[in-house]
Structures are given as structure tokens and as C-alpha cells.
Amino acid sequence: MHLTETAYAKINLALHVRRRREDGYHELETLFAFVDAGDELSVRSADVDRLETHGEFAGTLDNPFDNIVAKALGALPRPDGWAVTLDKRLPVAAGLGGGSADAGAVFRMIERAQGLPDDWHVRAAKLGADVPACVLSRPCIGTGTGTDLAEVAENDLAGCPVLLVNPRAPVPTGPVFKGWDGLDRGAMPQGSLRHIALTGRNDLEAPALALCPVIGDVLAALAASTPFLARMSGSGATCFALYDDLEARDAAAARIATEYPEWWQLAGALR
């Protein structure tokens, strides 16, 4: 057996925080979208489960065997062991759901190999709030803690050119949520992806900026490239810009790479 799968980068086109819950989590309304690139995973049969990591951001994983990929392997029964190789191309603690995307890719490979159990969604949610959406890796609306999913009827952003930029500054999710001011600024709008994205917001942007001011520089650089939308993803620090054509995206990528060569970036398209 030899399977390969892309762990598609997740972005939040909109992220509305409605309230703090008694269990310590936050009630969210978010629009998940996915880029057509990300980490790459491959798997072969083995006597026991093994995980090997390499790639630009592999060094940020302190204990590969405590990685969410290993946890995803343990969450689903299989008759044989799997030797997984993870090419870690997405930055960690970046608002891209990198670990969740990796777990989602494992679930999809298991689905191809033997199918998923009926309770796969529950098993995925135990690994992280973004994991069920990352298993689907299609545009969807997440509510509750983000695990209650509804797919969007009209995907009018499929193929939209997107540029991701991260200043190589990790931003832990917990402190960003803790910094949210507690104000409910209203529900996420309804409609097509484009409408929700343009009329929505990211309520975590302000607390993330307070912790990591360079996010403001990234947003300014993206806004200067005249996209139709530039916004921070998730809890940061990655920001994204959406463009009407490939030429505008590629020109922005080239300019930002010249002016800020230390920043990480990924040019792709929305799925």
C-alpha cells in the first residue's frame, strides 16, 4: 500500500466570536475555506505505526510522536501499522490549521484505504475544533466551537487566486482568545462565499495584533496589492489576500518577496 494526500491549508474567510461559554470555550461562527496546497503526507504499510517528519517547518515539532498525526492514527482502528512521512510545509501556530489539516489528511487516507466509521466526526472533533472541517477540506460554515458544520450551497470562490503571507511569528491560539474583548459584534452574514467573506470580519484580529504587531505590517502589504479582500486567518499570524486574477496575485507575491524576503508566503487558489 502506498497513499499520498495533501493537507490543504485552512483559512477563515470570516470568524465571528459570539460569546464565552461556561466550559471555557467560545461560541463561534466561521466560514472555512481551503487552499489547493499545504503539507504533504505519504503512507506505506508497516508492522507498527511510525511517523517521520521533514520539510521547512519540521523542526518546530518538538516531539513528532506527540504530533496530531500520531493521534489521528490512534483515533481510527486499522488492521496494520502505517509508516507516515510528513513534509511540513505550513508554518506552525499560524492560523492555517496546519496540524488539523494533517489530521484531516490522515482521515482521508484511511477513508480511501478502508472507509471511515460512522462516528468519524466525533473522533475528529476530539483531536481539535478545526479537524472535522479539515477532513472535508471543502468550504463550510462552522458553529459552536467550530465543529458543527454545514456546507455552503454556493461556492462562488472556487479557483479564486489567493496569497498567504506569514511574518514567521508564531501566535498561540489561547492567548489570542483570552485577549478577545467579549463584545458580540453580530452574527455572520448568510449567502455565497464571496458575500460572507466581504461582509464578515475576524474578531480575533485585534487581540492578535496586540500580541503580534507585525500582523499589521502584513495586512498593510497585502492591502497595497489591491486585492478584493485582505484579512487575517484564524488567530493569526497568517494573513490572506483574494484576487480577481492570477496576474494580480503573482505581482503581489513578487513585490512582497522583494520587500520582505524574510516572510513566508504561499500562492495558490481556493478549492
Give me the catalytic one of 10, 87, 88, 203: 10
Q: Assess whether 126 carries a catalytic annotation.
A: no
Torsion of CA 149, 99, 171, 231, to 10 degrees: -50
User: Exposure of 73 by Cβ count < 10 A (0-12 exposed, 13-18 middle, 19+ buried)?
Assistant: buried
User: Among 39, 102, 130, 203, which one carries the catalytic annotation?
Assistant: 130
What is the full DSSP assignment across the chain? -EEEEEEEEEEEEEEEEEEE-TTS-EEEEEEEEEEEEEEEEEEEEESS-EEEEESTTGGG-S-GGGSHHHHHHHHS--SSEEEEEEE--SPSSSSS-HHHHHHHHHHHHHHHHH---TTHHHHHHHH-TTHHHHHHTS-EEEEETTTEEEE-S--TTTT-EEEEEE-S----HHHHHHT-------PPP-SSHHHHHHH--BTTHHHHHHH-THHHHHHHHHHTT--SEEEE-TTSS-EEEE-SSHHHHHHHHHHHHHH-TTSEEEEEEB-
CA distance 99 to 101: 5
Nearest in space to 10 (alpha carbons), one of 128, 103, 133: 133
Q: Any idea which residues carry the catalytic annotation?
A: 10, 130
